[in-house]
Structure 1
Amino acid sequence: MGAFGLAGAALIGCADDDEPGSDGTATPGGNGTAAAGTAPNGPVSGGRFRGTEAGDPTSLDPMVSGSVSTKSIAAHVYSRLMRIDTAEDADPFDRLPTGDLAESVESDDGQHWTVKLRPGVKFHNIAPVSGRELTSEDVLFSYQRLSAPQSPNSTQLGSVVDVQAVDNYTLTFTLDAPSPEFHELLADGNLLYVQPVEADGGFDPVVQTIGTGPWILREYVPSSKLTFDKHPEYFVEGLPYMDGIDEAIIPEDANVKAQFEAGNVDFASISAEDLLDMQQRFPGGTWLPGTGNGMAWIAFSGKDMSPDAVWRDERFRQGVSMSVDRAALLDFAGNASRLLDAGFDFTTLTRWNNIPEPCAFGPRFWLDPQSEGQGPSSTYFQYNPDEARKMYEAVGVGQQPIPYMYTDRYGDVFTKVVEATGGMLTDAGLVVEQQFQDYNSVYITNTFVGNFHGVVYGLESQLTPGGYAERFFGQDPANHGRVHEPEMEEMLVAQRTELDPDARTEILYNMQRRQGEMMYYIPAQSTSSTQWSGYSSRVRGLRRTRGYGAGTDVFANVWLSA
């Protein structure tokens, strides 16, 4: 593999958790988690993995849809220039990006980058692409689609000012300034999935997928199933091991769990409440903690939508934060006390999210809001409903109803936490009108991008540290609360180009301090508590990634025992 770095040294784009014992890696024994097994003779080929998907995608095209399901499917069939270098029993936040389609990604100054592609990479053998070799023109075409104004993630690569295809295997990227996160952007499962140029008129990527990834989408039946077959000419020799993946579309967590218990599927998302029982009942299974780097948040409609709303006053927003009992929610959603007592030593059982950085990133990017480092604004993270009531009274809330919106697409536990948080706001004196929204027709297409009046409890896509900052405070079209404050924007711009890791960390810490003081958003707890994935006893070679790249980063390496 070629070099990936700045003047020969890798740019640091992902978090190493430098606290002793805080890596969050699942190991056998002490934390009660079964490690992924390895047969004496190593991986074997064949068989089909039986998975599940929570719902239908809004589109099969990741360049036009921000849907979780869309990105999950994309990670199976498309490749990126880089990916996360996963390994068994490794914390994905301790792993750096490595090459996917790229053989090397190099720069002398952090601003001008040269990308060399692997030669001989073949697209899926589906007309009109018909298994031809990938070239730099396909990458350029895909970048142009991603950066188009209608793309939901166009601003995430806003620092790129020019891309050129130099020859069939070489591209140059020119940024507006040196970037500490360029590798991370190329590996991000939200962004640059490489599609063939034939997607411009030769076939419709909204309803058909043709990529270079390890899996070919053979069939999609809405509300029923997704069927993937292995790509026989995948560019990584020997991978994937399995013949295919069959995913049943099952929206209800309870139904997924029942199918897992019956032996009909190999995977189920397991709530922390059920984890200890499931571990005892299925001793041969593998139980892996989720990466949890999604960000749950409470947002307030922006000035353009609600110019005279009571939440224009920071005292109201501070009161909302103080109405939320974060420790109780960790116990409620993450079963934290019981799991800690049972020996599950996983740091996010006790961590609280901050904004713009989730706790899963660890101290390289995340500032612990319970620490002295948070400064005076740590007060607003503490549960204090009496003080919250005083703040509500001071701004004249009265009995004014507050619309409180959410969707159920993110699972039963998420919904329960949303509703419990709404109850806490009510207990602190607000008149909360809980309003459920359909994910596809309302939430992701309108509310998520700031078109709402009231308060919304949402879940963020899994982004890079800089990506979160852009999403919450930049020109990102999905800046949910449309927060554009000069002090935050100044720090946002500064962190984009700061190549010194310690200096950049301090900028991100200062963003979290200022955000904590003003509470433009309320950091919520749904994804800071541990999420667990259960796998049947025949599944081997498991590892974890971050973001949406599991289709390639994880399942290309999975194999099935006899």
Structure 2
Amino acid sequence: MRRSNLIAAALAAVLLLAGCGGGSGGGTARPAGDPRPGGTLVMQLPAEITDGLNPLEGSDPTVMGIISGTVYSKLVEFESGPDAEGLKIVPDLAESWEISPDGLTYTFRLRDDVRWQNIPPVNGRPFTSDDVVATFQALKQATQVHQWMIAPVTDISAPDAHTVVFTLDQPYAPLLEYLAYHFNMILPREGLDGRFDLATQAIGTGPFILDSHTPDVEWVLRRNPDYYIPGRPYLDEIRRPILTDTAAVTAALRSGRLDIGTTSDVNVADELRARDFVITEQAGAPISFYLNPTVEPFDDIRVRQAVVTAIDWDGMGESIRGHYNLTSLLRPDTSSGALTPDEVRKLRPFDPERARRLLAEAGLPNGFDTTLMVQRVDDEDVREAQWMQADLDDVGIRAEIQIVDPGTGIERRRSHDFAMTKALRGVHLPDQVWRDFAPDSIENYALVADPALDELVAHTRTELDPAKRDDLYRQLQERMETQIVQALYPIQKFDYAIRNPRVQDLWPSPIYQGKRLADVWLSE
């Protein structure tokens, strides 16, 4: 299909979404009345877990989707609900907290009405500050997966059974956000002491109990009758069948075997909207793009600048995704420090003539041959790579596409075995983005090593004024776009959550937020 036709089709899809309330709803669902208890919710799980359930040792998003906020609770949580915007932090196990004026002491007052799930060896005992201390002490000793999130915390103490104090060696602006993030679940002392295997069993304080697992088929959760919020959860059971194929998800939704599924394909969303399903459109993961500066000719910044200038990122977003955000590094749905689309276009214009001039200046007037590794999760990933390949070819950069599975893609990125590569990068928080480019980060795929960048990042972490911190974030993005040009998240895709109209009060969240499932109920 010609590019002009692709864009026209994509614009038509976006206009259709706008006619249906901006894509945030759909179907003809009628008022359902008051919440009622009972029933089983069947909700797609997009992949099987491969590395166990222990949140101290892994970062598998599938694990987080099953146990974070559902089985395990956290000290604090990101707000969800009909009026939630951005990343407002609200209480969970901590009912209140205080931060000292110098930013070096955080005091959390814990709820006194929380019990662990009634499963041996924890047996429904009361939750106390000792569990919190034990969790974060264990995180300090754990692998490098995410212990850096609390690196400035030098001491965690419990003055009494319902108070926890974090002492820091420097102000650390992201701390509350990281405590609300899905990795940082509070675990029972018994699991941390080895009295049960955290990799195979989860015993938490959350609204649901992990009930059973059939490998490669399904995970099942059941209602926790001792959850600390009276009357919650409404559901008796949540079943998570493992469905990775869009066609299988669509068929299961049509037949009624599945209540909730997700897709990034606007055509699938539109078809099911017409069948009376409720569609919620939500900003998803950014597309990531990395250039390896140790592979010639990408050691020359002029070549890297030529690559990113040669690609029509707006056109790619419009034609492949249908709905997208043009971005730099930070996500506009989770950070007020994200650059606007116009600011991105100014820093990274689509300008093939400039790309050709840069290549000539770098001694490559006839271009060069290279490779583009693409990690395939869905068909859109490959089509984006083909779009990039065509744009690069127009300026003389002849890129052979190498399609790999997610596991291979992660391994090759971490070992820097690529010239150019694109994938998805599931980062949410502003500071989390910059952690990727730290010298000791295994996710520093593009080998970014820039002292000025590191100095700016360090400043953002000690700057407690949000407006000043956002200004630093903008400076960081500008430097990455103009002075480094080794990594960018050029567009952010949108996903579509598709649900049967009987599913009520399932509010969207940009973060894996399982606690919101406690509010879900099923109408007649």
Would you say 1:457 and 2:422 are equivalent positions? yes
Residue 116 to residue 309, structure 1, CA distance change in 2 (3 Å):
farther
* Deviation for aligned residue 1:259: 1.5
Would you say 1:387 and 2:359 are equivalent positions? no
2:507 counterpart residue number: 543
Q: Partner amino acid for 1:381?
A: R
Instruction: State the alpha-carbon separation in 1 of the partners of residues 422 and 54 from structure 2.
Output: 26
1:299 counterpart residue number: 290
Residue 260 to residue 393, structure 1, CA distance change in 2 (3 Å):
farther
SS state at 2:271 partner: helix
* Deviation for aligned residue 1:418: 4.0
Instruction: State the alpha-carbon separation in 2 of the partners of residues 184 and 281 from structure 1.
Output: 39
2:436 counterpart residue number: 471
What CA deviation, in whole Å up to 9, does each residue of 1:460-512 have, x standing for no partner? 23332122122234643322223121111111011111112221111111111
Instruction: State the alpha-carbon separation in 2 of the partners of residues 450 and 118 from structure 1.
Output: 45
Q: Partner amino acid for 2:304?
A: R
Mapped contact 1:45–1:243 kept (Cα < 8 A) = yes
1:31 counterpart residue number: 22
Would you say 1:510 and 2:502 are equivalent positions? no
Q: Residues 119-518 of structure 1 correspond to what in structure 2 (within 5 A)? A: 119-148=112-141, 150-189=143-182, 191-199=183-191, 200-274=193-267, 277-278=270-271, 280-283=273-276, 285-292=277-284, 294-301=285-292, 306=294, 309-336=296-323, 349=324, 351-355=325-329, 357-361=330-334, 364-371=336-343, 378-379=345-346, 381-396=348-363, 401-409=369-377, 411-440=378-407, 442-444=408-410, 446-473=411-438, 475-518=440-483
Query: Where in structure 2 are there 5+ consecutive unaligned residues?
Result: 1-16
Q: 2:74 aligns with which of 75, 80, 85?
A: 80
SS state at 1:534 partner: strand
Which region of structure 1 is more displaced relative to structure 2, 112-121 or 128-137?
A: 128-137
Q: Partner amino acid for 2:43?
A: G
* Deviation for aligned residue 1:296: 2.3
Residue 493 to residue 332, structure 1, CA distance change in 2 (3 Å):
same
Q: Partner amino acid for 1:61?
A: N
Mapped contact 1:462–1:546 kept (Cα < 8 A) = no
Q: 2:36 aligns with which of 37, 44, 57?
A: 44
* Deviation for aligned residue 1:225: 1.0
Residue 124 to residue 309, structure 1, CA distance change in 2 (3 Å):
farther
SS state at 1:165 partner: strand
TM-score by structure 1 length?
A: 0.82
What CA deviation, in whole Å up to 9, does each residue of 1:218-243 have, x standing for no partner? 12222211111111111122111111
SS state at 1:257 partner: helix
What CA deviation, in whole Å up to 9, does each residue of 1:24-45 have, x standing for no partner? xx99964364279684641111
Mapped contact 1:84–1:92 kept (Cα < 8 A) = no
Q: Partner amino acid for 1:74?
A: I
* Deviation for aligned residue 1:456: 2.3
Mapped contact 1:253–1:412 kept (Cα < 8 A) = no
* Deviation for aligned residue 1:405: 2.5
Q: 1:62 aligns with which of 55, 64, 70?
A: 55
* Deviation for aligned residue 1:399: 7.1
Instruction: State the alpha-carbon separation in 2 of the partners of residues 248 and 465 from structure 1.
Output: 32
Would you say 1:532 and 2:496 are equivalent positions? yes
Residue 482 to residue 32, structure 1, CA distance change in 2 (3 Å):
closer
* Deviation for aligned residue 1:196: 1.4
Instruction: State the alpha-carbon separation in 2 of the partners of residues 368 and 80 from structure 1.
Output: 33
Instruction: State the alpha-carbon separation in 1 of the partners of residues 55 and 375 from structure 2.
Output: 21
* Deviation for aligned residue 1:256: 1.0
Mapped contact 2:374–2:404 kept (Cα < 8 A) = yes
Mapped contact 2:171–2:462 kept (Cα < 8 A) = yes
* Deviation for aligned residue 1:250: 1.2
Which region of structure 1 is more displaced relative to structure 2, 412-421 or 31-40?
A: 31-40
Q: Partner amino acid for 1:546?
A: P
What CA deviation, in whole Å up to 9, does each residue of 1:106-135 have, x standing for no partner? 112222111121123222222222222222
Instruction: State the alpha-carbon separation in 1 of the partners of residues 155 and 224 from structure 2.
Output: 32
SS state at 1:180 partner: coil
Q: 1:555 aligns with which of 510, 517, 524?
A: 517
CA RMSD of the aligned region, Å?
A: 2.7
Aligned length: 502
Q: Partner amino acid for 2:352?
A: P
Q: Partner amino acid for 2:81?
A: A
Q: Percent identity?
A: 25
Mapped contact 1:299–1:521 kept (Cα < 8 A) = yes
Mapped contact 2:44–2:262 kept (Cα < 8 A) = no
Instruction: State the alpha-carbon separation in 1 of the partners of residues 341 and 304 from structure 2.
Output: 16
Q: Partner amino acid for 2:287?
A: A
SS state at 2:157 partner: strand
Mapped contact 1:333–1:529 kept (Cα < 8 A) = no
TM-score by structure 2 length?
A: 0.88
Instruction: State the alpha-carbon separation in 2 of the partners of residues 131 and 419 from structure 1.
Output: 55
Instruction: State the alpha-carbon separation in 1 of the partners of residues 314 and 446 from structure 2.
Output: 25
SS state at 2:241 partner: strand
